[in-house]
Structure 1
Amino acid sequence: MVSRRKSMVAVQPVQFMPAVSSKGEERSAFCVALPGTGDVVKIESEDCSDFADLVAKSTISWVDYWAYDMAKDGREAVLALGFSEKIVNLLFDGRTQGYEDLDTELGLVLPAVNVEGLEVVVSPLLILIRRNVVVTVHGRAVTRLLKLRRYAETFMRKIPKHIPSTDKQTLVLVRIVDENNGRNFDHLREIEEQGDALSKHLMDPKTPRRTLGPKIYKMKHALITYLSTLWVSLDVLNTLRLGDAEQITDDPQLLARVGVLSDDVNRQIQLSEHMSEVLASGLEVLQSIYNNQLQVLNNRMALVMTYLTVLGTAVLVPNTLATIFSNPAFNMQPKDIGWYTVLLVVSTLASSYAAYWWTKKQGAMPKNSD
C-alpha cells in the first residue's frame, strides 16, 4: 500500500561513512539516519554511543545492534541510545515474545526462527521505539537484518520528509517486521524439505522403526515450535495494527500495512497446520504398514508351525514302531528287514498324510503366508 504523502518524497544524495571493519566484517553496530538536512547518513561502528549525536539530530533513524551477549552488550547499547532502564529491564529477560508500551517508549520482542536439520531454534529480536528512532537488538545467530542494512539508505531516503514522526517510525517498523517474517517463512520450506525426506523413509516398509520414531518426533516438535512462533508474531501484529500505542501511527493507510503483515502470518499458520495434518496422516500410514508387517510375520510363523507339526507326526509314528519292534519279545531277525522297511515307509507316508489332512480340515493350514 502506498503512503498518502508519497508525492512529497525528495531524493537526496547519500552520504557514506565507513561501513565495515578493516577486516571486511560486518560491524556490531549500524545506524542509518535522515537528518534535518535531508541527506541520508549510514554509519557502522562497534559502539552504539557513537550514534547518539546523529540520532538526536535526525528526523528518523534506525540503529541495529548485533550483540555477542544480549544480557550485557545489548542492554548497554540500548541505554547508550537514551532508552530508560524500565523498558530495558522489561525486555531483556530472555523471553522470545513481548509487547511493552510506556507511552514515550515502545518495546517489542519478536521470535526469529532458525532451522538446523529438524531442530528449530528460536531467538529474540528486540525492537525499541521512541521519538525519531527505531532500534533493533539481536544475537549473533540472527543474521536476517544484514541484508536490510545494505539497502537501508535507499529505503530511508524514500520516507517522506514532512510526515509525522510516528508515521516514519511505523514505516521503518513495518519494513523490519516484514523482513523478519519473510525469513521466518523461508524456514518453513526447510521444514517441508525435511518432511519430504521423511516421507521417502515412510514409503519403504523395510525402514527400521527405531530410526523413524525419533525423526517423526523431531518433525512434529519442529512444526509445533514453528507454529508457536507464528502465533506469537500474530499476537504482536494484531496489537500493533490497532494503532493504540503513542509511538505508532494512527494513519489508516499505514496501519493497513500492518494488517497485510498479519494476513501473511495467518496464511503461514494455515500452511503449517496443513503440514501437521499431513504428518499425522503419515503416522497413520506408518502404523498400518507395521500392522501389515506383523500380520505377514504371524502368517508365516503359523505356516512354519503347521509344517513342523506334520513333520513331527511323520517322524513320531515310525519312531514309535521302531521302538516297539526293537523289544526282544518280537525276536526281529535280519531276514525281517524287507517287510520292516516297507512298514516304516508306509507308516511314515500314512501318518504324514493323516496329519496334513486333519490340519487342513481343521482350518489351521494358512492358504497364503502373506
Structure 2
Amino acid sequence: MDPSGDSSAAPPVVVPSTQDASSTNGLNARVHRAVCVALPHDGKPTKIFGDKPSEFISSLKTASLGWVNFMVDDLGKDAAEVAVKFGFSDSMVPTLLKGYHSAFEDRDTEMGIMVPAVKVSKLDVCIFPLLILIRKDLIVTIHSRDIERLILFSRYADAFLRKLPERMGQQDRLTMMLVRILDENNSHNFEHLREIEEQADDMSELLLDPETPRMEIGRKIYELKHALITYLNSLWRTMDVLHSLRYGDAELVTDNPKVLAKVGLLVEDVNRQISLSEHMSEVLASGLEVLQALYNNQLQTLNNRMALTMTWLTILGTAVLVPNTIATVIGSIAGMDANTLMWYITVLFLCTINATYLAYWWVKRWVRLPKGA
C-alpha cells in the first residue's frame, strides 16, 4: 500500500460527533483503512474516515489532541511510511518491530510501543503486533489487516475526548487515551481465552468416551497446552510494556498518581488473566494424568484378557494331555514281562521325582517369591 495514495482515491468522510452516528461509524470503519478523531482547541471533536495520512493532517494541525487508527496491508513496509507521514522518525517502527511480540521505545519527544494482539482460530493461536506511536498531542495506532482492533474505541473516541475535563493537563489526557487503547486491546485478547476454554470442554467430552484412541487424546492435549503457552507468552509481553509505563518515567507519560493508578489497574487485570491461564494449564496437566490412568487401565484390561485366554488354554491342554499320557503308558507296557515292567515303573518314578525336585530347586533359586509363599 502506498500511504500517500493517488488523486483518484475517495474523499475523506467526516462524521458528526453525535451518538446517532454509531451505525455510520461502524460502516465507515469497515470501508476505509483509517479513522481519525481530533479535538480542536475550541470546539467539539471531529471524526474522519479515510485511506491516506494526508486526509487527516489538516485536522490534526489544529487539534489539541488526536488519535488515528491505521490499518495496513504489510506492517513491515507500510507502517514506517505511515509513521513518517504523521511526523514520527523513520527509525521508530523498524526499531519496534525488532522486539519479540512487544517493545517500548522512549525518545523524549516521541514514544513507540508494540503490544501483542492475539487472534485465535480453534487451537491456532497467532500473535500480531499492534504499534502505538505517541507524540505530545497525537497517538497513532497501526496494525495489519489480519486483525481487527480498537473497533469499539473508534466508535466512541469522540465522546471520550469530549468528556475529558478541560482543566486536565496535556500529559494526563494523553496518558488517559493510551490507557483506554491498551485496555481495549487487553480485553480483546482476553476474549480469545474463552475460545481456548471451549476447545478444552470438547476435549473433556473425548475423555469421557473410553473408546477414544489414546493418540487422539494425547494430540488434543498437546495442542491445548501449546495454545495456552502461546497465549501466556502474549500476556507476559503485555506485562513488560505496562511495567514500563506504570511509574511515569517517560517524558510523554504523566506522573499524576491518579492517572497512573489506571495503569496499575491494567497490570492487575493482566495478572488475573495470567492466573486463569495458568490454572487452565494445571487442569490440562491433570488431564495428562487421566490419560496415563486410561492407558494403564487399557493395559490391565489387556492383561486380564490374556490371563483368561491362558487359563482356558491350560484347561484344554490338561484335558488333552492326561488321556494322552495314560494311553502312552499303557501302550508302552503292553507285552512286557514282570522284570521289565518293574524296571520301567522304577525308572519312570525316579525320573518324575528328579524332574519335580529340579523344577522346585530352580524356582527357589532364581524366582523371587513373596514371603510366606
The reply to whether TM is greater than 0.5 is: yes
> 1:166 deviation in Å?
1.3
1:61 to 63, 66, 69: 66
2:311 to 297, 301, 306: 306
* Matching residue of 1:44: 49
Runs (4+) off by over 6 Å: 19-24, 322-327
1:99 and 1:29 map into 2 onto residues whose CA distance is 24
> 1:326 deviation in Å?
8.6
Q: How does 1:1-370 map to 2 (within 5 A)?
A: 14=17, 25-93=30-98, 95-319=100-324
1:191 and 1:268 map into 2 onto residues whose CA distance is 13
Report the residue type matching 2:168 in the other structure. I
**SS class of match (2:91):** helix
How far does the alpha carbon of each residue in 1:83-127 deviate from its partner, in whole angstroms, 9 at most, with x for none? 001212212347421111011111111011111111111111110
Report the residue type matching 2:238 in the other structure. S
> 1:43 deviation in Å?
0.6
Aligned partners of 1:49 and 1:77 also within 8 Å: no
1:167 and 1:295 map into 2 onto residues whose CA distance is 67
2:271 and 2:27 map into 1 onto residues whose CA distance is 44
Aligned partners of 1:110 and 1:125 also within 8 Å: yes
C-alpha RMSD over aligned residues: 2.4
How far does the alpha carbon of each residue in 1:28-51 deviate from its partner, in whole angstroms, 9 at most, with x for none? 111001011222111111111221
Q: Which runs of 5+ in 2 are unaligned?
A: 1-15, 336-373
Aligned partners of 1:94 and 1:124 also within 8 Å: no
Report the residue type matching 1:118 in the other structure. L
> 1:282 deviation in Å?
1.3
1:228 and 1:36 map into 2 onto residues whose CA distance is 42
**SS class of match (2:191):** helix
* Matching residue of 1:348: none
Report the residue type matching 1:61 in the other structure. G
> 1:234 deviation in Å?
1.2
Q: How many residues align?
A: 316
How far does the alpha carbon of each residue in 1:57-104 deviate from its partner, in whole angstroms, 9 at most, with x for none? 211000001111101221111111000012122123474211110111
C-alpha spacing 1:23/1:137, structure 2 compared with 1 (3 Å): closer
How far does the alpha carbon of each residue in 1:283-319 deviate from its partner, in whole angstroms, 9 at most, with x for none? 1112112112211210111111121122022123445
> 1:23 deviation in Å?
8.9
> 1:26 deviation in Å?
2.9
1:263 and 1:85 map into 2 onto residues whose CA distance is 34
* Matching residue of 1:353: none
Q: Which runs of 5+ in 1 are unaligned?
A: 1-12, 331-370
Report the residue type matching 1:254 in the other structure. V
* Matching residue of 2:359: none
Report the residue type matching 1:123 in the other structure. F
Sequence identity (%): 53
> 1:128 deviation in Å?
0.7
Aligned partners of 1:178 and 1:261 also within 8 Å: yes
2:34 and 2:316 map into 1 onto residues whose CA distance is 84
Q: Which moved more, 1:161-170 or 1:207-216?
A: 161-170
